[in-house]
Amino acid sequence: MEHGQPPNRPQDVFTPPEGPPQGNAPSREIYAAMGQENLFALCRDFYARLEQSPIRPMFPEDMALASEKLASFLSGLLGGPPLYHQRYGNPMMRARHLKFPIHQQERDVWLNCFKAALQDAPARYNFPAQHVDGFVAFLETFSRWMVNREG
């Protein structure tokens, strides 16, 4: 999430009690099945949903660039080339998101938009059906770590 108001004071920042994501990363077979073109298409469609969501103001005007950043991050995570690292450096996703106020409600909207984009992912993007549930579980854990405000 690219836009929003920075925290007023350091004590405004909430840290989820479970800490950073632990456990299994999504299968690296996902990228092998989907390929770069389908991964970028999935992210574009996800961002099209975000564009229509109540959290749209949290994102930059250029949603295409934002979707490319996410696709670049997911590329390396899912077994493809480390595009995010090559283009933008170390992801440090929580640190990059701290300047944006993310409550549980915003996280839920973000996650629901992603889940909706994944509804027909096996047919539309060649996303391996056997890995959808694991990927959603990863997104649930990962997005909880991005929550940085209580309430």
Model confidence pLDDT, tens digit, residues 71-85:
999 999 999 999 999
The proportion of the chain whose per-residue pLDDT surpasses 70, expressed as a percent, equals 93
Amino acid at 40: F
Contacts of 64 (CB under 8 A, 6+ apart): 44, 47
What would the 3-class secondary structure string for 27-47 be? CCHHHHHHHHHHHHHHHHHHH
CA distances from 33 to 37, 39, 104, 117, 121 (A): 11, 10, 32, 17, 12
In CATH, what class is 22-146? mainly alpha
pLDDT of residue 7: 45
Average pLDDT over residues 122-129: 98
Reported residue count of the chain is 151
**8 has pLDDT over 70:** no
Average pLDDT over residues 83-91: 95
List pLDDT tens digits, range 24-54: 789 999 999 999 999 999 999 999 999 999 9
Residue ranges of domains in the chain: 22-146
